[in-house]
Amino acid sequence: MEKVLQYKANIEALQNAINDFKLRYTVTLSNLQILTEKFSTELDHEAAAVPSDFDTSKREETESDGESEEESEQAQEGQPGYDSIYTTPSAYI
């Protein structure tokens, strides 16, 4: 009889663990859906801010202006207040 009670307690503990897992999974899934919707909305706003006549060919032209990517990196590394190849001032990072 004692083993039956122990089995019942184990089954109840497993059911509680399963329910806890389901709850955590549901909360995590809900949070992921919220973040996905937020990210999608932000992307939509950013895409709307780009002018319809935005010309992407300008970037290709500037990359092929004779200066290699490595030379560009070396030139920017010497500039104080800037991080690596990015032109964002280090104070904002």
75 within domain boundaries? no
State the DSSP code for 93: -
What DSSP element (H or E) covers 61? helix 57-63
Computed over its alpha carbons, how large is the radius of gyration of the chain? 28
- Residue found by looking up tokens 């991080």 in the block: 83
52 within domain boundaries? no
57 within domain boundaries? no
25 within domain boundaries? yes
Residue with the larger pLDDT of the pair 52 and 35: 35
26 within domain boundaries? yes
pTM, rounded to two decimals: 0.39
pLDDT tens digits, 20-44: 999 999 989 999 999 999 999 888 8
Cα(60)–Cα(73) distance, rounded to whole angstroms? Answer: 17
16 within domain boundaries? yes
Range of the domain at 17: 1-47
Number of domains making up the chain = 1
9 within domain boundaries? yes
* Model confidence at 76: pLDDT above 60: no
pLDDT score at 45: 82
22 within domain boundaries? yes
